[in-house]
Structure 1
Amino acid sequence: MSAFILAAAQYPVEQLASFADYAAKIERWVAEAAAGGAKLAVFPEYGGMELTALDPASVDDLHASIAALGALVEQVDSLHAGLAARYGMHICAASLPVREADGRFRNHARLFAPNGKSGTQRKIVMTRFEREEWDIASGAALTLFDTDLGRIGIAICYDVEFPLLVRALAEAGATLILAPSATDSLHGFHRVRVGARARALENQCYVVQSPVIGEAEWTPSLGTSHGAAGIFGPPDLGFPADGNVAQGELDRPGWVFGEIDPARVERVRREGAVFNHAHWHEQGGSVTLPRVELLDLRS
């Protein structure tokens, strides 16, 4: 696979007046990513919650607000699919809580390819807020997306703090892990960042954090969000000494661009000063990794 430019969003939630305003905002952001040469644009966790502003009757009710999004999911996905095709770009859309057939809501991140194919990764491990206040249910299987850019995994926010989830994706062939995030404190932001950098080190791969930022006191689902986007690799051969491929400025809206080169992952796993990826199983003990489903999004 060839190297390509990735854009990670530091995405500000806004109190929008209409779906047309939302669509215009998303297209503006995608156009800016494309102008920067990006072939993959990554939006954050729960960025789609700004759509709750379109239903004033439910905006102050946590559970009603996520239920109100249900009528918009198809429109949101159609918008992103169209933009992926129009701009010739893969897009990881901002995640949304989606009601499934069992009546439970799950946190969905969706990856859209420019060829019209798409797939979903559900968040696996719920935070206390998701469990105790939102009643968001956990997903089951991990999905590895086989794309024209390489094999890509998604570990949504808290998920990237759990080594076995990302390890399962790495052993299935992932060289790039996307970690869309939403954190209401600097503590939370740094927990996700530390997790992302640790996963990049131990699996000798790229990990990308994309946060939602800004003030959204008009919705109980977000409030104030803090973060900065980052693109990380192992601090070893072919990568920066500190492993930081690119970093954004805290709480400043915009894209953070960086080059993703799968050949560097292959080389560092083959010739690096250390072999964290290859030596994983020498830790001892018997560990069963989560199941991974491979989804073909290639042209």
Structure 2
Amino acid sequence: MKIATAAYPLDWLDSWAQYEDKIARWVSDAAGQGADLLVFPEYGAMELATLAGADAAGDLERSIHAVSDRMADAAGLHRRLAAEHRVHILGASAPVAVPQGRPVNRAEIYTPDSRQDHQDKQIMTRFERETWEIAPGGPLKLFDTTLGRIGVLICYDVEFPLLGRALTQADLILVPSCTEALSGYWRVRIGAMARALENQCVTVMASVVGKADWSEAVDTNTGCGGVFGPPDTGFPQTGVLAEGELNRPGWTYAELDPAAIAHVRADGVVLNRAHWSEQDPRAASVTNSSLLSEGP
């Protein structure tokens, strides 16, 4: 399969048609390069807040609802494009209002046969929980697709190994991200590469890039696209299948033979995934050993 992962800039939109044209162009470009799976980043849908005007786009609470109100239409657009181009798409995540409680951070996945499901972010960053009040959503899911089993860990979620371990049956873990600083980008990237090592799978990181001065939530963004695997049999020695240029908008592409995942899991130089359970008794039996001086 061929994977396309986005370094996606947020634009000011003057009309819904402008958004339709933008997404259609991005999908068409990737499909035209032979991509089977397209991955957009976390909070890439925040540009939809601009359709409600500058006051709404610049207000944290109003921007949530301005975007949420547009997500049904965005889903229809993505479903149509996935079917038209015969591709799988992970759409950019968005704050979505739910019937009870605070909004959640939700990414929708679309298939070529017009199927759709979503993954909610599990663990909120400090900004999300302390300032924006975005809430944890529904449970982790494992999506069975014609491309293999796919999991989604949204940005901060990929920094937690037990969430990754819960997706041990996934062949691909998609990591849509939105990071302000270079350090944030590297935290997520290191997490993505660690999950690929532990699960002997492929992780796919997408990023929001550039400035969006009209938004208090996503005004500064740093990152690039990247596709990572275990640095082992059948994969690059660095574990990097592909990486984009930092902060340069566009698609990053990687070719992947799904059989390589099955092979490294069965007969890699190391078998991290199979040996994971050996940690449990050893981690539980840590003992203290004092090397402190008892004095003169």
Quick one: which amino acid aligns to residue 122 of structure 1?
D
1:259 aligned to 255, 259, 270, which one? 255
Superposition map of 1:143-222 within 5 A: 143-170=141-168, 173-222=169-218
Q: Report the equivalent of 1:71.
A: 69
Give the root-mean-square deviation of aligned CA atoms: 1.2
Q: Report the equivalent of 1:18.
A: 15
2:5 aligned to 8, 11, 22, which one? 8
What CA deviation, in whole Å up to 9, does each residue of 1:55-84 have, x standing for no partner?
123122111111112221110000000000
- Tell me the secondary structure at the aligned position of residue 284 of structure 1: helix
Q: How many residues align?
A: 282
1:19 is displaced (CA, Å) by 1.0
Q: Report the equivalent of 2:30.
A: 33
Quick one: which amino acid aligns to residue 108 of structure 1?
R
* Contact kept in structure 1, 2:68 and 2:94, CA below 8 Å: no
Quick one: which amino acid aligns to residue 113 of structure 2?
N
What CA deviation, in whole Å up to 9, does each residue of 1:167-206 have, x standing for no partner?
1111xx2110000000000010000000000000011000
> Partners in 2 of 1:283 and 1:234 — Cα distance?
19
> Partners in 2 of 1:87 and 1:33 — Cα distance?
10
Q: Report the equivalent of 2:104.
A: 106
What CA deviation, in whole Å up to 9, does each residue of 1:141-186 have, x standing for no partner?
111110011000000000000011111111xx21100000000000
- Tell me the secondary structure at the aligned position of residue 25 of structure 1: helix
1:286 is displaced (CA, Å) by 10
> Partners in 1 of 2:101 and 2:177 — Cα distance?
25
1:16 is displaced (CA, Å) by 1.3
What CA deviation, in whole Å up to 9, does each residue of 1:97-154 have, x standing for no partner?
1000104200001100010111000000000000011100002311111001100000
Identity %: 52
> Partners in 2 of 1:86 and 1:235 — Cα distance?
36
- Tell me the secondary structure at the aligned position of residue 91 of structure 1: strand
Flag structure 1 segments of 5+ consecutive residues without an equivalent. Answer: 288-299
Flag structure 2 segments of 5+ consecutive residues without an equivalent. Answer: 284-296
Query: Which runs of structure 1 show a deviation greater than 4 angstroms over 4 or more consecutive aligned residues?
Result: none
* 2:238 equivalent to 1:242: yes
2:133 aligned to 132, 135, 160, which one? 135
Quick one: which amino acid aligns to residue 23 of structure 1?
E
- Tell me the secondary structure at the aligned position of residue 211 of structure 1: strand
Q: Which one has a bigger Cα radius of gyration?
A: 2
> Partners in 1 of 2:70 and 2:170 — Cα distance?
31
The normalised TM-score by structure 1 is 0.92
> Partners in 2 of 1:96 and 1:261 — Cα distance?
31
The normalised TM-score by structure 2 is 0.93
Q: Report the equivalent of 1:274.
A: 270
> Partners in 1 of 2:282 and 2:109 — Cα distance?
33
1:285 is displaced (CA, Å) by 4.3
Higher strand share: 1
* Contact kept in structure 1, 2:119 and 2:138, CA below 8 Å: no
- Tell me the secondary structure at the aligned position of residue 201 of structure 1: helix
> Partners in 2 of 1:271 and 1:194 — Cα distance?
24
Quick one: which amino acid aligns to residue 251 of structure 1?
N
